[in-house]
Structures are given as structure tokens and as C-alpha cells.
Amino acid sequence: MKSAWTDREADETVARYADEGVSEDLALRVYTSRLLGRDPLLVLHGGGNTSVKTTVTDLLGEDVQVLCVKGSGWDMADIEPPGLPAVRMEPLLKLRSLKVLSDEDMVRFQRGALIDPSSPNPSVETLLHAFLPHKFVDHTHSAAVLSLTDQDADEVLLREVYGDRVALVDYVKPGFDLAREATRVFEAHQQVEGLILRKHGIFSFGATAREAYERMIDLVTLAENHIAEVVGGIFPSVELPKELPPVAEVAPVVRGLLAVRGDDSVADPVRMILNFRTSEAVLNYVNGLDVGRYSQVGVVTPDHAIRTKMIPLVVSAPEAGLGDAFLEGAGEAVAQYVAAYRAYFARHDGVREPPKKALDPMPRVVLVPGLGLFGVGNSAAAACIAADLAENTVRVITDAEAIGAYLPVDEAATFDIEYWSLEQAKLSKAAERPLGRQVAVITGGAGGIGAATARAFAAQGAEVALLDLDGGKAEEVAEEIAGLGFRCDVTDGNAVRSAFDAVCEAYGGVDILISNAGAAWQGEIGEVDDGTLRKSFELNFFGHQTVAQNAVRVMLAQGTGGALLFNASKQAVNPGPGFGPYGLPKAATLFLAKQYALEYGYAGIRSNAINADRVNTGMFAGGLLEERAGARGQSPEEYLRTGNLLRREVLAEDVAQAFVALALARKTTAATLTVDAGNIEASLR
């Protein structure tokens, strides 16, 4: 590992922040924190922290000694000065004289010592930073260091690699006790450049930002060099089926198995979002003959347990066609995992601390021999984090097994982190949104109604994938809502299949389809050429059928129901002259919605349609709005407002909200909802 420090960048950072009134100490602290934070082999998703001891001037003009330490909720890769809140040193140091201090009291006390009370909570490792005497202190969960310390015989190994350049601190849960213990160890070995926190990570320190940072790099490099000298890292592989199924076929099946089913008359199953990863390293690991042993020992560093649980679920290698053997085997594996998780909770709950609230028993990582791994979470972001940590785990354990025998913190210590009171407190605050844990696919997603619908579904918590002929625009809208955007022609069956496959790899499956892509063709029905009519049927009927077939295929594999939503048009109910080529396929699509409702209701799949009218979007492109308004002697605005009973213009957002309402209406199927501000000729029944 090379130092990424450059004097030029350091100077630039200092100069840039000086303009904002940020001190040189804090600017350099931001600079090296980012250098550490942007390397996933050192820091992943909050797994590390840094600090600097410096002086600030308070409102009275008095100098105050403070510790600027990483605040919770900030990522070191892109940290800014407010991410390193200033805490008064004097009260922090007084805490050392206490015998015990609960996490809650520690957090409260640290908040009370903040210079700016609106700052984020200082890190739980704040006291360790404060008690060490050095100006700059850096802490990471370096993968290479973890491979060395997550060992049966780590003390001997660490001595061999580091000599007396570091001191070793036995595993203690982060917080007050660890701060005291680490300081005690440091004070007995004051010449060291760093501390290895056994089974947890590494601290380095120095008089300058550069010294502390480069000591971290040096110490990690020693670990990396040691690993590089060892021949190994290739696990003997299990025998894999001759032909493997595509990931996109396996993902919905696994996702369905991980859903927690309750009373279906009351609520949907509690679903998970999946995120797939594979690589040579991942395959070496998941295909290993011994994966059932080395993957089941524990987390590489305790705070992963909050995101990944202590161990992953391992299923057997699937064969092409996904026969009953795989389904039964995987189902059995999930049942065993759940039972084992409940037993683990029962073993540790109430033993060292007051009773806890049990978390759901489903795994957060699934290893699939032959294919790779899935990160699992209650959102795409959480699944992605779990997958990142799982890939990091693959690396640490592969190296640890090459060196010796992987042995991380024990189960009791892992439980204490997974059920940390500070984490439990967050649970009650985190309310899930109505469409959370659901994946919505929207065709025509870049147009007016499509984009409004994408935003509305994202606002309700759904993970959204947009398909559109205009791939660039679809990506643009997707970026805005942290979703996915693809170019996809819904009249091309192969393209639709590929798009659904990509959604299954990214999210694990599909729960809601908003089949919205369409375009208006015109012509007098007695004269229109067949070509025009067939083109319209391709898009306005067969396009809907193709995406619906794909959605139903995935929904049946998941076995957790779903919602099909079709954008029909008022033309399907109330034909207008010259709009036969548009209205005819839309009428067929309205019927299609009913046919799906009829045939898939047994599987919990609902199918509904919307007939909207006079929405000022692409429908009226090419001067059509002006032409139709002009024919009535109206301005476009008058035309949009006066043609309905409510005298209100119908907006794309209105259609989007109607789609959301139908997605949430769990007892409604085969319905058509009118969004036209009142058009009695187009009203149903």
C-alpha cells in the first residue's frame, strides 16, 4: 500500500479551507481522513475514525482545547470539517477517573462537551482518541491487519510481523472500557507507532497529519507483505453442476425464500432487496469445499455484525433449470438459518445486559456456489453495503486461511455489537415507508408521466428501475432518485428480457410493474393503412403484454405476489374520431389488465389500469395540443382545463399518485381508475 500524501494536495486543502475560516490542523485532518476513507481496504462504510487535538476560539474570545473527532453519519471518503465536531478536551480527560460509564451516559456526556451543540454525535471511539496523547490519531479496519489478527495464534504472528513497532490490545467492546484499556497498553509501551486492537482493527498516531497517516500506511503494508509471502489463498472447489442457471433466475427465488410471510389478508410479506456480486475471488471463496466451515466462524471485525449478521447463509450450487432439489435445499437452508439465529439470540439475550428486541432472523449475505454472493437489506442501499462488506470478508478470510486458521471475535462479543443499545435505540426511530422493500419497474420512464411516476414511487420508498427508448434520459431521472435507468424498446422481447434480468441482478426481483410506454397514432379507421395500425398494436398492446409476462415470470418465482399497473387511455373507453389506431390497442390493453387479474389473482398478483385524459405530456407532442385547442378556438391552457367536469388541468403527478394508490390498494384488482378531472363519457360503470 502506497502513501497517497502529496504536499501539493495538502497545501491546496489548507488554502481552500482557510478561505472558509477552517484551521490548518482541521484542514489537514480532513485531507488525510479522506485519503484513508477512499481506500476500501482500509475503511468501509463507517468502519474507522480519525481525530486531531487542536484549539478553537469560543464566542468569548477564549482559546479552548478541543478534540475534533469523526462524527457519526459521515463517511471518511468525502468528509468535510463539520463531520469532525469539536469536543472540549478537559471534560473528556476527566472521564478517565471513572470506573464504569454506560454507552448512553458516554454519548450524553460527549454531546454536552460539544462546542457546537448541533453537531453530529462524536464517534463511540472518541474517548480512545482523547486519552492518547498524540495530536493526530487514525483508526482503520484494514483488511490485511484483520487477516493477521483474526487468527488462532495472532499474538505470535503479530509479533513476528511488527516486532515492537506496535502494542497489542486484547479485544474489548468499543466505548469507555476499550478507551481505558488501550490507553493503559499505550502507556506501558510509549515508543510504539500504533496499536493493534486484536480482532478489531488498528490505530496509528503522530505529531503531524502526515506522520500518523504514513505510519498507518507503513503498518498496513507490513501486513500486506506478510500475506503476499504466503503461498495459498486457493480453496479446493466443490464439484459444480455442468450447467449453471443465470443469476437473474436465481435471484427472485432466493428473494422469495428470504421474505417473511404473515397473514396475507393483513399485510404483504416483509420482503428484502438483494444485490449480487461476483468476481474470481468471490467464486474461489463460495465454491470452496470447506465454505461451510470458514464462512460460518464469524465477522472479520465486530461492527460488520450490524450490517451482515454474524454469519452468511450458504445454499448449494444451483443447476440450470432450477429444479425442485435446489428449491427444497435452499428452503431448508433458510429454515435452518432462521432457527439457528433465534437460538443464538436466546443464548445471549439478557446475559450481560438487559433484554433486547430481537431483530428479524433473515440473513444479510447469501453465498451461492457457482455464482457468487448476494448482499441483503431492507433497501438497495443496505443490500449494497452488506455486499461490500461481504466482498471485504471474502478477502480477509481467504488471506487469513492462507496464513493459518481464521478465528475472529467470539459469538458473545458479536452479539454485544449486533445488539448494541445505541443501535437498538435507532430501530424504534426508523419508520419504513409504504413501498419500502419493493422494486418497481416503469416503462416509458423518461417521459412526463413515467418520470413523475418514478419520483412518486421513490418517495414512497420503492427501488425504481426506469426503462425507456431514451436511455440517456432514463439514466438522468434514475440518478435523481438513486434508481436504475436503461435503454429499452418494449417491442423488442430480447431487450425487455435483458432489462428485467439486470433489475433482478441489481435488486433481486420485481414487485410492481408500471407499464406506461405508449404513443398515439392517428388515422381514419376506414382508410388507415395496416402498417400504422400494426405499429400501434406492437407498442400499445404487445409492448404491455411483453413487460407484463416478464414481470409475472419474476413475481411467480418470488412467490410474494405483486402489482401490475397499465396505462390505458380514455381512448380505450371513450373513442375519439381519428384515434382508432391508438384506442384499439389500448382497449385490448384494458382487457389485458383484466385477463392478468383473472389468471394470477391466486398468486397474489393484482392487475389494474388507469385511464387518464388530456395530460400535457408527450401525448400532445408535435403541436397536437395547439392543433386541438385551436380547433375549439381555445388556448392550450383553456383546452386542458375546460374539457373536464372539475375544470382542472390533469398533471403527470396526478397520474403518478393514482399509480401509487393502486400499488397500495391490496384488495383491489381488475379495476380501472379514472384520472381525467371528470369526463362522464369516459367514466366506467
Task: Please identify, among the stretches 68-76, 193-201, 333-341, 422-430, the one whose residues bind Zn ion according to the rule CB under 5 A.
Answer: 193-201
Question: At its nearest, how many Å lie between Zn ion and the CB of residue 174?
Answer: 6
- How many Å apart are CA 451 and CA 444, to the nearest integer? 8
Question: At its nearest, how many Å lie between Zn ion and the CB of residue 125?
Answer: 6
Asked if 440 and 457 touch (Cβ cutoff 8 Å), the reply is: yes
Q: Which residue has the cell 477517573?
A: 97
Q: Which is nearer to Zn ion, 142 or 669 (CB)?
A: 142
- How many Å apart are CA 31 and CA 33, to the nearest integer? 6
Question: At its nearest, how many Å lie between Zn ion and the CB of residue 146?
Answer: 11
Question: At its nearest, how many Å lie between Zn ion and the CB of residue 203?
Answer: 9
Task: Please identify, among the stretches 4-12, 198-206, 223-231, 311-319, the one whose residues bind Zn ion according to the rule CB under 5 A.
Answer: 198-206
Task: Please identify, among the stretches 194-202, 371-379, 476-484, 664-672, the one whose residues bind Zn ion according to the rule CB under 5 A.
Answer: 194-202
Which H or E run includes 188? Answer: helix 176-188
Q: Which is nearer to Zn ion, 271 or 304 (CB)?
A: 304
Q: Which is nearer to Zn ion, 201 or 581 (CB)?
A: 201
300-333: b (≥16 Cβ within 10 Å) or e: bbbbbbbbbbbbbbbbbbbbeebeeebeeebeeb
- Contacts of the segment 622-629: beta carbons below 8 A, 24+ positions apart: 624/520
Q: Which is nearer to Zn ion, 175 or 372 (CB)?
A: 175
- How many Å apart are CA 564 and CA 29, to the nearest integer? 52
Residues 6+ apart with CB under 8 A from 259: 269, 270, 271, 272, 558, 559, 560
Residues 6+ apart with CB under 8 A from 533: 521, 523, 580, 581, 584
Question: At its nearest, how many Å lie between Zn ion and the CB of residue 243?
Answer: 44
Does residue 201 touch Zn ion according to CB under 5 A? yes
State the Rg of the chain over Cα.
Answer: 30
Q: Which is nearer to Zn ion, 201 or 448 (CB)?
A: 201
Question: At its nearest, how many Å lie between Zn ion and the CB of residue 388?
Answer: 17
Question: At its nearest, how many Å lie between Zn ion and the CB of residue 417?
Answer: 10
Task: Please identify, among the stretches 200-208, 273-281, 382-390, 650-658, the one whose residues bind Zn ion according to the rule CB under 5 A.
Answer: 200-208
Neighbour-count burial of 569, counting CB atoms closer than 10 A to its CB (0-12 exposed, 13-18 middle, 19+ buried) = buried
# of chain residues touching Zn ion (CB under 5 A): 1
Which of these, 584, 504, 501, lies nearest to 541 by C-alpha position?
584
Which of these, 501, 448, 502, 503, lies nearest to 477 by C-alpha position?
448
Question: At its nearest, how many Å lie between Zn ion and the CB of residue 201?
Answer: 5
Question: At its nearest, how many Å lie between Zn ion and the CB of residue 199?
Answer: 11
Query: What DSSP designation does 481 have?
Result: T
Task: Find how far residue 403's CA is from the centre of its chain.
Answer: 33
Task: Please identify, among the stretches 201-209, 271-279, 472-480, 579-587, the one whose residues bind Zn ion according to the rule CB under 5 A.
Answer: 201-209
Q: Which is nearer to Zn ion, 201 or 370 (CB)?
A: 201
Task: Please identify, among the stretches 197-205, 291-299, 304-312, 314-322, the one whose residues bind Zn ion according to the rule CB under 5 A.
Answer: 197-205
585 grid coordinates: 390497442
Q: Which is nearer to Zn ion, 300 or 317 (CB)?
A: 300
Question: At its nearest, how many Å lie between Zn ion and the CB of residue 668?
Answer: 50
Q: Which is nearer to Zn ion, 129 or 364 (CB)?
A: 129
Q: What is the largest CA-CA distance in the chain?
A: 97
CA angle 678, 683, 685 (to 5 degrees): 145
Q: Which is nearer to Zn ion, 395 or 570 (CB)?
A: 395
Question: At its nearest, how many Å lie between Zn ion and the CB of residue 510?
Answer: 38
Q: Which is nearer to Zn ion, 139 or 277 (CB)?
A: 139
Question: At its nearest, how many Å lie between Zn ion and the CB of residue 68?
Answer: 18
- How many Å apart are CA 169 and CA 25, to the nearest integer? 28
Identity of the amino acid at 442: I
Q: Which is nearer to Zn ion, 129 or 544 (CB)?
A: 129
Q: Which is nearer to Zn ion, 174 or 483 (CB)?
A: 174
Asked if 138 and 86 touch (Cβ cutoff 8 Å), the reply is: no
532 grid coordinates: 400504422
Question: At its nearest, how many Å lie between Zn ion and the CB of residue 126?
Answer: 12
Q: Which is nearer to Zn ion, 168 or 340 (CB)?
A: 168
- Reduced to 3 states (helix: H, G, I; strand: E, B; else coil), residue 515 is strand
Q: Which is nearer to Zn ion, 25 or 125 (CB)?
A: 125
Asked if 253 and 557 touch (Cβ cutoff 8 Å), the reply is: yes
- How many Å apart are CA 488 and CA 469, to the nearest integer? 5
Does residue 318 touch Zn ion according to CB under 5 A? no
- How many Å apart are CA 398 and CA 312, to the nearest integer? 15
CA angle 176, 177, 181 (to 5 degrees): 120
Which of these, 483, 387, 386, lies nearest to 442 by C-alpha position?
483
- How many Å apart are CA 477 and CA 479, to the nearest integer? 5
Residue nearest to Zn ion (CB): 201
Question: At its nearest, how many Å lie between Zn ion and the CB of residue 364?
Answer: 19
Contacting positions for Zn ion (CB under 5 A): 201
